[in-house]
Structure 1
Amino acid sequence: MATPLTPDALVRALRGEGVRMREHGNWRTHNRNHKGAWGPVHGVMLHHTAGTDSLALCRKGMPALPGPLCIGLITKDGTLHLVGYGRTNHAGNGSTAVLDAVRRSKVPPSRPGPDAVDGNARFYGFEIENLGNGRDQFPTAQLDTVERLSAALCRAHGWSGASVIGHKEWTRRKIDPTFSMPVMRGRVARRLGSEPPGDDATTYEPFPGAAFFTIGRRSPLCTAVGRRLVKEGCGRYEIGPGPVWTEADRASYAVWQHKLGYRGGDADGIPGRSSWDRLRVPRS
């Protein structure tokens, strides 16, 4: 369960994973939020378009199903087209059992239960350009972008590959996408097992847990965190950083959280797994 990323944080996460993208019009504010809250979010849901002129359809929708129909469309060439952000008409109602599995980072049940919960409020939704007839192929570049964008969101929220599901796994009413979701989840999981593209072979400190960061905690790790915050332009130290976790460390980490797009209680200066993983504190 997580607060949705801000649009800026989404773009940073996607770029960090090497996703090639195009932004269309007012995508950052184009949504269906007037129909209900978006979030907390629990995962990523994948779809295929089953038609042509996919970009216009995803942006505008149709009379019976107003747009946007997704956050982004992945075209055959592997480009992610950002068309909306927030609550979108992509999922509809689906299985409570599937949502519970995603919340627990478990593989969804082989057959979803009754349509009882609104997926539009709980998932990031992406459409993949494909006729869905079993003959139309998903090019390598297209599947690579699906993998990367899914991993980008999972990495940003500290989720596992199990947080990525297909529409066909959400409800018995759908068959999309027609590729194997277990295979795609495996690809995402393998990508999450490594650092994003461009990083060297440096190993990083594992997340010690939020409870570690209490005022007065003494550890060489506190110094290492502070140095990384300073390097990221987030340091708010008059003296230091040093081996004791202080209010200056907390304030500096809150600046880092704001830089990642977190707000309110999610930017309280207490490290969480997602922001920690993106800080990449070198192992000493």
Structure 2
Amino acid sequence: MTTDQTAAIDWQHWLQRWDAQQTRYLPEREERFTVMLDTLDALLSVDFVALDLACGPGAISQRLLARFPEARTIALDYNPVLLHLGRQALGTLDGRISWITQSLTEPGWVEPVQVALEQLGRPQFDAVLSTTALHWLPIEHLTRVYNQLGALVRSGGLLLNGDHMAYPAALPAFRELARRSETARQQAVFQEQGGEDYRQWWEAIEQGWLAADPTLQPLFDAYHANEQVRRREFSEPILPVHCAALADAGFTQVDTIWQRYDDRVLLAIRGEPTALVQN
């Protein structure tokens, strides 16, 4: 991409539009982020290293590094368009973000992560954070990823997953309440705020970027190929599956710390209990 072509794309504009359309589907999105960051503040020292898992354009890293100036993140995703947006809009923040392109469906995703950790001088992570992502993984992939994270997170370290984690099938009334609430809240936000939906955002970004720089076409070709795979593998593991898999991976304390129906923040602490720190 030439300098002129780079200047023709307003990366911050597209990142802000991403946040806006995501919030249409998740009105409590920022509250969920805040709960996760508050948990880091309570349980970790200020110079922690975190894995931003399935990071998209880096929403977690952006907020985390703004709040914790001494922290560092490794941000991993397989979506080439969102990663490119994150790299261009956020950069590395003076070396505080390391970006990695890997798919969690491939067992080897941990290898470049371990290399990046070594470059930061750390043997393991203090924390792993993910939002609105792991529900895509089939159960067998989810359990493998959690097991791999059990080895990547230090004793006393933690995992925070903000996502829809469905009620078990044995609780049909709870499932219906969650479905109705989500539908009603999304419709209310759409009517009150307008704006674009997920599909419209993707159509706009592809059209806008390629008009400014046709050499970005391979990013979208790769995205569409990945999207087809993702649709075939779509899954939504129920909450007990998450809890059991995390326990098997060595996370000894696992429970919900924030919730609106089946939209939750799940906290898992590995190994020995962690005392609240005084930052």
Query: TM-score of the superposition, structure 1-length normalised?
Result: 0.28
**As a proportion of its length, which structure holds more strand?**
2
Q: Relative contact order (C-alpha < 8 Å, sep 6+): which is higher? A: 2
**As a proportion of its length, which structure holds more helix?**
2
Larger Rg over CA atoms: 1
